[in-house]
């Protein structure tokens, strides 16, 4: 009897402890592959991949962006999700590439991306609203010039997301400012929220990339092949879901 009473008190204590603990969030944090640029610098392709929250199914979404307009190429994106938990992320990534291969080949996409700056998800003590980068020097020399990219939320002139009426935390769109030698200018501002973003809750700077060994992207002004990768966190089933937005800085 004493043992049963002890176990009952222990179980009750655990229930109280669990009630006091904050709820864990297990959103879908997509990874990213830089598939590459077209040889003429007109297009950039990337793939998002991960395990979908709730279902546990692997998925991969492959995007081809026309850099002059910042929009998806015709017929994109390719979205693969197999409703079988035994199917791996590697398998769905391969399937997305295979399905997109005719377009990738026709546009001659395959030139590798050069990552000028990146804020990894495990990086500590970083400001996710700014990203500094420079024109790579030769050998081990320091970058020739310093650029600072800054992100800010914007709402003026944009219809709020549907979730604004649900009482959930949300943001509208975002803008990017670029500082060079202390002079700042706006290089991008949302005028609407793409339906693919769902209900945005936060934006963060993730990376700046350009075609590998193409330093002409810096001169005299940043060209369209210099692109920012922005993480967008949207309301999900079990927590914020992370996807990516591509912004050509020379638009």
Class of residue 143 by CB neighbours under 10 A (exposed 0-12, middle 13-18, buried 19+) = middle
Q: Is the pLDDT of residue 82 over 50?
A: yes
- Per residue in 1-30, is it b (16+ CB within 10 Å) or e — as a string? eeeeeeeeeeeeeeeeeeeeeeeeeebbbb
What SS3 state is found at 84? coil
The reported pLDDT for the residue numbered 167 is 67
Count of Cβ atoms closer than 10 Å to residue 164 Cβ: 14
Q: What is the mean pLDDT of the chain?
A: 86
Q: Are 68 and 42 in contact (CB under 8 A)?
A: yes
Using 50, 70 and 90 to split pLDDT, how confident is the model at 51? very high
Q: Is the pLDDT of residue 17 over 50?
A: no
The reported pLDDT for the residue numbered 24 is 42
Helix, strand, coil share of the chain (percent; to 5): 20, 40, 40
Q: Is the pLDDT of residue 1 over 60?
A: no
Tell me what the mean pLDDT of segment 63-76 comes to.
Answer: 96
Q: Are 44 and 37 in contact (CB under 8 A)?
A: yes
Report CA 165 to chain centroid distance, whole Å: 25
Give Cβ neighbours of residue 65 (< 8 Å, ≥ 6 apart): 43, 44, 45, 46, 71, 72, 73, 246, 248
The dihedral sign for the CA sequence 141, 229, 171, 151: positive
Q: Are 59 and 81 in contact (CB under 8 A)?
A: yes
Any idea which residue has 């092949």 for tokens?
225
Min mean pLDDT across 59-63, 167-171, 234-238, 240-244 is at 167-171
pTM of the shown model: 0.85
């Amino acid at each position: 009897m004493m043992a049963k009473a002890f176990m009952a008190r222990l179980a009750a204590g655990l229930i109280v402890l669990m009630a006091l603990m904050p709820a864990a969030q297990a959103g879908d944090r997509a990874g990213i592959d830089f598939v590459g640029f077209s040889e003429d610098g007109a297009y950039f392709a990337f793939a998002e991949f991960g395990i979908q929250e709730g279902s546990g199914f692997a998925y991969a979404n492959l995007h081809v962006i026309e850099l002059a307009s910042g929009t998806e190429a015709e017929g994109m994106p390719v979205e693969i999700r197999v409703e079988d938990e035994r199917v791996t992320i590697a398998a769905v990534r391969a399937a997305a590439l295979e399905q997109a291969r005719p377009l990738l080949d026709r546009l001659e996409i395959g030139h590798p991306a050069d990552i000028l700056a990146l804020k990894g998800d495990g990086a500590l003590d970083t400001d996710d609203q700014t990203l500094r980068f420079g024109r790579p020097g030769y050998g081990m020399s320091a970058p020739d010039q310093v650029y600072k990219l800054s992100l800010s939320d914007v709402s003026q002139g944009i219809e709020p997301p549907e979730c604004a009426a649900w009482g959930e935390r949300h943001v509208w769109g975002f803008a990017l400012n670029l500082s060079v030698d202390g002079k700042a200018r706006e290089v991008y501002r949302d005028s609407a929220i793409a339906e693919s973003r769902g209900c945005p809750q936060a934006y963060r700077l993730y990376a700046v990339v350009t075609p590998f060994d193409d330093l002409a992207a810096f001169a005299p002004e940043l060209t369209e092949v210099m692109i920012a990768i922005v993480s967008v966190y949207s309301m999900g089933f079990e927590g914020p879901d992370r996807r990516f937005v591509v912004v050509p800085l020379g638009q």
